[in-house]
């Protein structure tokens, strides 16, 4: 085996490792865990993981027009109370599937569930 | 092994590595902003992060500019009021023509074109009736029939005069009011799309509160998969449609409504009667231009289902999916190849319609 051959073997090893690394990362990006992301005016303020073992809980978020009370129960999340006038976010009730979201326009509060949805976007 | 074979083997591996790495080299930049009474998300893909970020910011600015021109809500005398062409036109109804921005002229020309084509099932001059219903307000209540008749008398696209040369718009009867609630968001989305294209973005998705506009193909180099919301079940999809370089816009009866004495009154009014239209619960338009999609989704929601389908078939490059109030899914024939309907969704699906 010449020196050139050894160099080529090294190159091949390096490129296959590289491709394996890229493939691994590309796929793992798609596999985001099932969690709710809560943001106010575009900034993330809290993340809650949603699973069957998630304990029931309430917490408060300060939105643009006042306090929003969010309830979590297992895989589900909802707005229980909000300071906005129209209460659309409260009426929407529980959400639990990846890709679902609750948007409180006046408070600029968004709760969205991350995870694999099978679609790029939803028209509604 | 001969030298040539080695070179060949190395080339194969390098190509494989580059191909596998392509997804990673393609960066995603995503940003959200509240505007036009909804949440707008813009996602772009490319290799230069700074350019992606800059383009998205400019696209948001473009949308905001259109939103300000078309806003008909602000109170007289405020900065928002002075920035709005629609407010100025409304204030001068029956008084005089108003000089407006080129985008306002284009928005109104498009709106009038489809108002004529749909014979008034969509109408941008429905402002007075919409104001009477007060859907966004505190404790809305159904108006009295006499009040609705009065406002219907000052609605109609025939009252809308547009002078393209002079860039002026005139509502030629006192009391007539423009309301671009069913078209401005689509127009703004289309302007954002045009800006991203101009900046060389080849892959993007704009989601303006469910009004979807796409550029190119998705991250996996396949057509974008756009879900159509089940109008009666939270989080469920009724169908998935493939879209490349196009728009999908839905008008539904489920987001803005109020209930009074057990009756549900939603916000999509039939401009010819002044009452919520009830043949259909969801109408989705799939076509290239987002401004057209926005207008036509409203027109097709208002028209009776069979008329709506015939109307959509008659316009080049336009597809329609309807869910009727008796829970039937209907769509234009051309959609058949690029749609998958969710099985067992509880709706009746007449294939090929």
Equal CATH topology for B29-66+183-349 and B85-171: no
- By CB atoms closer than 10 A (0-12, 13-18, 19+), residue B110 is buried
Tell me which CATH code domain B29-66+183-349 carries: 3.10.520.10
Give the distance from residue A124's alpha carbon to the nearest chain B alpha carbon, in angstroms: 5
Contact B6 A85 (CB under 8 A): no
Question: Interface of chain A against chain B, CB under 8 Å?
Answer: 4-5, 8, 11-12, 15-16, 18-20, 22-23, 25-26, 29, 39, 41-42, 85-86, 88, 92-97, 99-100, 103, 105, 108, 110, 117-124
Q: Which member of A19, A25, A39 has the closest CB to residue B16? A: A19
Q: Which residues does chain B have within 8 Å of residue A99's beta carbon, measured at their own beta carbons?
A: 227, 235
The string over B217-244, giving b where at least 16 C-beta atoms fall within 10 Å of a residue's C-beta and e elsewhere, is bbbeeebbbbbbbbbbeebebbbbbbbe
d(CA B16, CA B162): 58
Give the distance from residue B166's alpha carbon to the nearest chain A alpha carbon, in angstroms: 38
User: If you measure CA to CA, which chain B residue comes closest to A118?
Assistant: B225
pTM of the model: 0.86
Q: Which residues does chain B have within 8 Å of residue A92's beta carbon, measured at their own beta carbons?
A: 234
d(CA A46, CA A74): 17
User: What tokens were used for B160?
Assistant: 């809308």
pLDDT at B187: 98
The chain-wide mean pLDDT, for chain B, equals 93
Contacts (Cβ under 8 Å, ≥6 apart) of B227 = A99, A117, A118, A119, A121, A122, A123, B237, B239, B240
Q: Which residues does chain A have within 8 Å of residue B267's beta carbon, measured at their own beta carbons?
A: none
ipTM of the complex: 0.89
Q: Which is more confident, A104 or B161?
A: B161
Give the distance from residue A98's alpha carbon to the nearest chain B alpha carbon, in angstroms: 8
Interface A:B, Cβ pairs < 8 A: 115
In chain A, where do the E strands start and end? 35-40, 43-49, 57-63, 66-73, 76-82, 101-104, 109-114, 121-123
The structural domains of chain B, with segments of one domain joined by +, span 29-66+183-349, 85-171
**pLDDT tier, A53 (very low <50, low <70, confident <90, very high otherwise):** confident
pLDDT at A23: 58
Q: Which residues does chain A have within 8 Å of residue B27's beta carbon, measured at their own beta carbons?
A: none
Q: Which member of B10, B24, B39 has the closest CB to residue A12? A: B10
**pLDDT at A28 > cutoff 50:** no
Contact B229 A124 (CB under 8 A): yes
- By CB atoms closer than 10 A (0-12, 13-18, 19+), residue B351 is exposed
User: If you measure CA to CA, which chain B residue comes closest to A39?
Assistant: B32
pLDDT at B67: 96
pLDDT at A82: 92
Contact B249 A123 (CB under 8 A): yes
The CATH fold assigned to B85-171 is T-fold (1.10.3980)
pLDDT tens series, chain B, 353 aa: 566 777 777 777 667 666 655 555 789 999 999 999 899 999 999 999 999 999 999 999 999 999 999 998 888 888 999 999 999 999 999 999 999 999 999 999 999 999 999 999 999 999 999 999 998 777 889 999 999 999 999 999 999 999 999 999 999 999 999 999 999 999 999 999 999 999 999 999 999 999 999 999 999 999 999 999 999 987 889 999 999 999 999 999 988 888 888 998 999 999 999 999 999 999 999 999 999 999 999 999 999 999 999 999 999 999 999 999 999 999 999 999 999 998 878 899 865 44
The string over A96-113, giving b where at least 16 C-beta atoms fall within 10 Å of a residue's C-beta and e elsewhere, is bebbbbbbbbbbbbbbbb
Interface test with B, best of A30, A101, A114, A123 (most B CBs within 10 A): A123
pLDDT at B30: 93
* Range name among A14-18, A111-115, B231-235, B264-268 with the lowest pLDDT average: A14-18
Classify strands A121-123 and B224-229 as parallel, antiparallel or unpaired. Answer: parallel
pLDDT at B2: 62
Contact A26 B138 (CB under 8 A): no
Q: Do residues B320 and B283 lie in contact, with contact meaning Cβ atoms separated by under 8 Å?
A: yes
Q: Which residues does chain A have within 8 Å of residue B39's beta carbon, measured at their own beta carbons?
A: 103, 105, 110
pLDDT at A21: 65
pLDDT at B351: 59
Give the distance from residue A59's alpha carbon to the nearest chain B alpha carbon, in angstroms: 23
pLDDT at A10: 83
């Amino acid at each position: 085996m010449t020196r050139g051959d050894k160099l080529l073997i090294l190159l091949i090893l390096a490129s296959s490792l590289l491709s394996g690394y890229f493939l691994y990362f590309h796929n793992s990006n798609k596999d985001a865990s099932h969690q709710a992301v809560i943001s106010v005016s575009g900034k993330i303020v809290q993340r809650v993981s949603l699973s069957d073992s998630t304990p029931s809980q309430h917490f408060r978020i300060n939105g643009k027009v006042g306090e929003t009370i969010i309830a979590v129960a297992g895989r589900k999340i909802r707005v229980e109370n909000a300071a906005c006038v129209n209460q659309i976010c409260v009426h929407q009730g529980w959400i639990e599937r990846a890709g679902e979201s609750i948007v409180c326009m006046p408070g600029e509060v968004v709760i969205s569930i991350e995870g694999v949805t099978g679609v790029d976007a939803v028209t509604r | 092994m001969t030298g040539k074979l080695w070179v060949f083997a190395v080339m194969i591996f390098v190509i494989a590595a580059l191909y596998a790495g392509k997804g990673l080299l393609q960066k995603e930049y995503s940003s959200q902003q509240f505007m036009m009474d909804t949440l707008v998300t813009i996602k772009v893909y490319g290799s230069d992060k700074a350019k992606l970020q800059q383009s998205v910011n400019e696209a948001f600015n473009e949308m905001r500019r259109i939103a300000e021109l078309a806003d008909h809500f602000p109170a007289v005398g405020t900065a928002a009021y002075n920035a709005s062409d629609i407010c100025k036109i409304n204030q001068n109804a029956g008084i005089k023509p108003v000089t407006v921005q080129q985008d306002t002229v284009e928005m109104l020309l498009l709106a009038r074109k489809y108002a004529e084509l749909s014979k008034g099932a969509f109408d941008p001059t429905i402002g007075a009736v919409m104001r009477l219903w007060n859907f966004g307000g505190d404790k809305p209540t159904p108006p009295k029939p006499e009040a609705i008749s009065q406002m219907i008398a000052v609605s109609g696209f025939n009252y809308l005069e547009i002078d393209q040369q002079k860039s002026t718009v005139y509502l030629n009867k006192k009391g007539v009011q423009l309301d671009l609630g069913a078209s401005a968001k689509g127009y703004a989305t289309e302007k954002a799309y045009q800006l991203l294209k101009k900046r060389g973005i080849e892959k993007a998705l704009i989601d303006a509160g469910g009004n979807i506009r796409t550029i190119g193909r998705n991250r996996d180099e396949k057509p974008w998969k756009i879900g159509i919301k089940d109008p009666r079940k939270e989080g469920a999809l009724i169908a998935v449609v493939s879209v490349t370089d196009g728009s999908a816009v839905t008008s539904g009866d489920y987001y803005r409504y109020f209930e009074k004495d057990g009756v549900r009154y939603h916000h999509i009014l039939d401009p010819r009667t002044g009452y919520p239209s009830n043949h259909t619960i969801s109408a989705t338009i799939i076509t290239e231009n987002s401004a057209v999609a926005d207008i036509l989704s409203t027109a097709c929601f208002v028209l009776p289902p069979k008329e709506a389908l015939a109307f959509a078939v008659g316009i080049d490059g336009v597809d329609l999916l309807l869910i009727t109030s008796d829970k039937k899914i209907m769509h234009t024939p051309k959609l058949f190849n690029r749609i998958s309907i969710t099985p067992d969704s509880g709706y009746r699906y007449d294939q090929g319609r």
